[in-house]
Structure 1
Amino acid sequence: MLSAGFPWLTTLIVVPLVGAAAVWSLPSSARRWVRHVALGFALLELLLAVGLAATFDTAAAATHQFSEVHSWIPALGVSYAVGVDGVGLLLVLLSVVLTPLVLLAAWREQGTDFEKLRHYVALILVVETFMVAVFAARDVFFFYLLFEAMLIPVYFLIGAFGGLQRRYAAVKFLIFSLVGGLVMLVAVIVLYQHGPGGADGFLTARLTGIELPVTTERLLFVAFFFAFAIKAPMWPVHTWLPDVAETAPAGTSTLLVGVLDKVGTFGMLTLCLPLFPAASRWAAPVVIVLALISILYGALLAIGQQDLMRMIAYTSVSHFGFIVLGIFAFTSVSVQGSSFYMVNHGLSTGALFLLAGFLVQRRGSQRIADFGGLQKVVPVLAGTFLVAGLSALSLPGLSTFVSEFLVLIGTFARSQPAAIVAVFGVVLAAIYILLTYQRIFTGPVQDELADTRDLSARELWVVGPLIALLLVFGFYPAPALDLVREPASVTLELVGVDDVPAAAAAGIDQSAGRGVGADLGAVEGSTK
């Protein structure tokens, strides 16, 4: 048994980098082993993460555990500081679960071009390092460096391995992300100048609770939120996502949308709210409106898509709206739901992207109209796609239902009009999922699809764990909810908002006739 002082998080950050270096250094005679080496390191990372989770003290889920703080650039106040609370732990686990599945899904993608495959799998491992590190970072400047540095491997994964419009999509992704990052950098510098300073002046623990002028705090909040909204992505700064999803490999989209985009909502929850509590309360009504627009806009555009990958991308715009809604509704139930939603969205959307990738490999096309009747030809693929789709529309019995239900009832307790508007997103989700399933899998079988092969054993190992997790957490979500309950309560305390029990939602007549802005504007007056 490893000692309590074992550097768990540093080890989890370093192992994928070592794996990437090992893959890149393989001699030409051993290039055919690149898949096995990459998968071996990803599975080692998964085992280490399981050990981390087993050692985590759930009773103290609100505290950052496995903390390591080392002075890095004392002259600038930058530290190498890592640690995870319950929310960070869940997102780290999501990262290390999806990575080996993505590598396994890409087993045959590059054919016998081992040189190209070597770069692809190595970049996937580099991305895994950034995913683990960014969810563990406890220094604002260190977080910012990771926030920006992760763009590099993702840019190459899109631009070097995507479809016909890969360069356009990669550049668009980079420009959007860099603009948000540069705005955030200015805010990071200003925040440090108002902080306590010193060799560890960028530590989030030291910057939380500092007094800021009202205007300064609001501008800093807007800068951080703008960067996170691009990453999330939220309307109206979401337009890079459909282009990337349409052209990027399915595995890249799985990690980008399933995990990396959670950096945006994770940043809102762990940086925007604690660092700028008054500004968070001030901005909540506007943010809630943007979240509601994202929910409806993403769902409506998903219904009309002809490209399968773009359709899944727009569903994610809608789902991220639910996550942001729960965060800024400022109830413990809604924040718990949003924290859990980040994990469930990664599982369900990851399964959809990977299954869509298998469909595209078989048909050679992403156009939904080029499919039809596949349910009779590939029943296993059809069944797993249906389960993944039903999880996206939050069917009871699947884990996404739990998180979406918590977001809605938590929001209803704070603002009934906002929750009612959000419910329409649930209805639209049923339309875009069932309509897509009908167009791809039902009806007469097209002649070109008559000999389509069903999922292989390898492909079942890719989607099987995701379907299993969706079912397990759907019927028994307690282990995950135990990890997010206390962090949600602590977040509300830091924001300075009185919690509203979900049971209070029963008092419908108390807020009858009030609009979304009026309900959420009242948050300003509920400070402790």
Structure 2
Amino acid sequence: MENILSILIFFPVVAAVFIMIFSKSGKFAMWSAFIASVIEFILTIPLMTNFDKGSAGMQFVERYYWIRSLNIDYYLGVDGISILMVFLTTFLSAIAILGSFTYIQKRQKEFYVSMLVLEAAMVGVFCALDFFLFYIFWEAMLIPMYLIIGVWGGQRRIYAAVKFFLYTLAGSVFMMLAIIALYFKYGSMTGEYTFDILKISAMGAQFPLGFQIIVFLAFFFGFAIKVPMFPFHTWLPDAHVEAPTAGSVILAGVLLKMGTYGFLRFCLPITPIASIKFVPLVAILSVIAIIYGGLVAMVQEDVKKLVAYSSVSHMGFVTLGIYAFNQSGIEGGILQMFNHGIITGALFLLIGLIYERTHTRLIADYGGIAAKVPVYATVFLIFTMASVALPSMGGFIGEFLVLVGAFKAFPTYAGLAALGVIVSAVYMLWMYQRVFFQSVNPNLHHLDDMTVREVFYMIPLIIVVFWTGMYPETFTSYMHESVKALVEQLNAVSVAMK
């Protein structure tokens, strides 16, 4: 298991270079990328099986001197919070690449190279324990996603790509300023200038309140855009609608989680006093996102945009759980990050494959297709039910834990957030009724059902959705100790403030 994290980060890059050099056809690039992504996923299995669930600390740690003059190290590690995100990244990347085989017809080599480089950067974000290294991976991630949207997207792809890039870049600037401020403040207080995330986190409660508030707001702005939280969400529907299916899967499945991961890894431990003081603000914005996102989703005519706005609502549950500052809420938030990646990723795959057949995403252009494509209708129903948090499915467990934690911390906000569960059922089931039942659109009489390949890549997603719903301990057991340590740190700060 030595250097396993470095292998996970750089193997997709090596595969991308291999494709760039040796690929003579789109088919070769396509299959090479898929095989590489499957190998990448397989490499995460020993990471999961050898992880010590009884430890709250970082594991599989790698540390090497890099830029000694600034105390910058190549420093990697995972704990119970980040390991699930690494697993989610490699799992969804393989499925997204397999799902892209039929609709990427131009510049196939460049597309699959972009997907592999994006995967490497995403894994790096979740493994980095040095702020400088983290920032490099964070910024590196923007370039391939910008290209995926801007080159292989829809008619307004340039607009959507530029909007995505500018919003995220604006957040990154504030995050960079916060990192620099921490570097100098920690150095002035200890005499050691470092970008070590763990050392700075351990010192978090000792930073002055005014400094914490400034750093918190800078981090918050960067991460809130990425989530995206209300009112920083406007880039998301455009990016989703214009992105190719694989881009939407990765965007919803992994990239949005980096914002909430940032809250957990940086805001809570590094600025704990400021985080506690800003709980009402975050809770209010989360509740607004849950209800507003659901109401806006309800009136969408484009099914892809509907699912995009549903992400705003579902990610509101994640931030609400995280800022409950208790075991149930934070574990529910992390589990919901994982569940949302699986469920929404699957919905975007399903929307993409029907779009390939009909070349429309307007709900009004469908109707009655359940009789024509029964397998597709069944699979779509499974993920519709998972999205509305039906018991026995992963979405239910995540939202239930979030609401339990939220009711302990702030009952009023939790009660309002619970309304979002009803709203999500309304817009998802109403969408399903209009697309799959009622009268059949005469233009869809010759619609083909799912192929073997399409069923093949949906089965793992179905298994994970039910597995998470019926045996959530399989996943929550990884995070128990890490979350417990974080909650104890926050409780100690809260007691000291009184």
Given that 1:295 and 1:319 are in contact with CA atoms closer than 8 Å, whether structure 2 keeps it comes out as yes
Out of 242, 250, 270, the position equivalent to 1:255 is: 250
Mean Cα displacement is larger for which, 51-60 or 353-362?
A: 51-60
Distance in 1, matches of 2:272 and 2:489, equals 7
Cα deviation digits, residues 159-216 of structure 1 (max 9, x gap): 0000000000000001101111111111111110011378871111111232222111
Q: Displacement of 1:32 after TM fit?
A: 2.7
**Structure 2 counterpart of 1:344, which letter?**
N
Distance in 2, matches of 1:74 and 1:81, equals 13
Given that 1:330 and 1:497 are in contact with CA atoms closer than 8 Å, whether structure 2 keeps it comes out as no
**Structure 2 counterpart of 1:295, which letter?**
I
**Structure 1 counterpart of 2:218, which letter?**
A
Out of 286, 305, 308, the position equivalent to 2:300 is: 305
| 1:469 paired residue number | 464
Tell whether 2:73 aligns with 1:82: no
| 2:453 paired residue number | 458
| 1:144 paired residue number | 135
TM-score normalized with structure 1 length: 0.91
**Structure 2 counterpart of 1:466, which letter?**
L
**Structure 1 counterpart of 2:165, which letter?**
L
Given that 2:146 and 2:165 are in contact with CA atoms closer than 8 Å, whether structure 1 keeps it comes out as yes
Give the alignment of 1:419-498 within 5 angstroms. 419-496=414-491
| 2:5 paired residue number | 9
Give the alignment of 1:200-349 within 5 angstroms. 201-210=194-203, 211-349=206-344
Distance in 1, matches of 2:286 and 2:7, equals 37
Cα deviation digits, residues 31-50 of structure 1 (max 9, x gap): 43111111111111011111
Tell whether 2:345 aligns with 1:384: no
Given that 2:81 and 2:482 are in contact with CA atoms closer than 8 Å, whether structure 1 keeps it comes out as yes
| 1:102 paired residue number | 96
Out of 113, 122, 130, the position equivalent to 1:122 is: 113
Cα deviation digits, residues 341-387 of structure 1 (max 9, x gap): 11000000000000010111111011111111110000111111111
| 2:357 paired residue number | 362
Q: Displacement of 1:484 after TM fit?
A: 1.5
Q: Displacement of 1:87 after TM fit?
A: 1.6
Compared with structure 1, are the counterparts of its residues 87 and 445 closer, same or farther at alpha carbon in structure 2 (3 Å cutoff)?
same
Given that 2:149 and 2:161 are in contact with CA atoms closer than 8 Å, whether structure 1 keeps it comes out as yes
Tell whether 2:391 aligns with 1:400: no
| 1:44 paired residue number | 39
Compared with structure 1, are the counterparts of its residues 466 and 460 closer, same or farther at alpha carbon in structure 2 (3 Å cutoff)?
same
TM-score normalized with structure 2 length: 0.97
- Give SS of 1:58's match: coil
Tell whether 2:366 aligns with 1:371: yes
Cα deviation digits, residues 373-402 of structure 1 (max 9, x gap): 110000111111111111111110101111
Q: Displacement of 1:56 after TM fit?
A: 1.0
Given that 2:10 and 2:120 are in contact with CA atoms closer than 8 Å, whether structure 1 keeps it comes out as yes
Tell whether 2:13 aligns with 1:25: no
| 1:172 paired residue number | 163
Compared with structure 1, are the counterparts of its residues 12 and 198 closer, same or farther at alpha carbon in structure 2 (3 Å cutoff)?
farther
Q: Displacement of 1:142 after TM fit?
A: 1.5
Compared with structure 1, are the counterparts of its residues 439 and 198 closer, same or farther at alpha carbon in structure 2 (3 Å cutoff)?
farther
Given that 2:81 and 2:483 are in contact with CA atoms closer than 8 Å, whether structure 1 keeps it comes out as no
- Give SS of 2:438's match: coil
Q: Displacement of 1:473 after TM fit?
A: 1.2
Mean Cα displacement is larger for which, 482-491 or 426-435?
A: 482-491
**Structure 2 counterpart of 1:87, which letter?**
I
Mean Cα displacement is larger for which, 317-326 or 139-148?
A: 139-148
**Structure 2 counterpart of 1:195, which letter?**
Y
Compared with structure 1, are the counterparts of its residues 368 and 495 closer, same or farther at alpha carbon in structure 2 (3 Å cutoff)?
same
- Percent sequence identity is 38
Mean Cα displacement is larger for which, 31-40 or 388-397?
A: 31-40
Compared with structure 1, are the counterparts of its residues 379 and 27 closer, same or farther at alpha carbon in structure 2 (3 Å cutoff)?
closer
Distance in 1, matches of 2:128 and 2:33, equals 25
**Structure 1 counterpart of 2:16, which letter?**
A
Distance in 1, matches of 2:75 and 2:232, equals 30
- Give SS of 2:371's match: helix
Distance in 2, matches of 1:264 and 1:479, equals 24
Given that 2:386 and 2:396 are in contact with CA atoms closer than 8 Å, whether structure 1 keeps it comes out as yes
Distance in 1, matches of 2:480 and 2:93, equals 27
Tell whether 2:188 aligns with 1:193: no
- Give SS of 1:70's match: strand
Q: Displacement of 1:27 after TM fit?
A: 4.4
**Structure 2 counterpart of 1:263, which letter?**
M
**Structure 2 counterpart of 1:57, which letter?**
D
Given that 2:291 and 2:420 are in contact with CA atoms closer than 8 Å, whether structure 1 keeps it comes out as yes
Cα deviation digits, residues 455-484 of structure 1 (max 9, x gap): 101001121110110011111111111111
Given that 2:53 and 2:481 are in contact with CA atoms closer than 8 Å, whether structure 1 keeps it comes out as no
Given that 2:122 and 2:138 are in contact with CA atoms closer than 8 Å, whether structure 1 keeps it comes out as no
Given that 1:74 and 1:200 are in contact with CA atoms closer than 8 Å, whether structure 2 keeps it comes out as no
Q: Displacement of 1:242 after TM fit?
A: 0.3
Compared with structure 1, are the counterparts of its residues 527 and 307 closer, same or farther at alpha carbon in structure 2 (3 Å cutoff)?
same
- Give SS of 1:81's match: strand
Q: Displacement of 1:325 after TM fit?
A: 0.2
- Structure 1 residue runs of 4+, over 3 Å off? 196-200, 524-528
Q: Displacement of 1:71 after TM fit?
A: 1.8
Q: Displacement of 1:80 after TM fit?
A: 1.2
- Give SS of 1:208's match: helix
Compared with structure 1, are the counterparts of its residues 383 and 213 closer, same or farther at alpha carbon in structure 2 (3 Å cutoff)?
same
Cα deviation digits, residues 95-130 of structure 1 (max 9, x gap): 11111111111111124x4xx111111111111101
**Structure 2 counterpart of 1:159, which letter?**
G
Given that 1:79 and 1:200 are in contact with CA atoms closer than 8 Å, whether structure 2 keeps it comes out as no
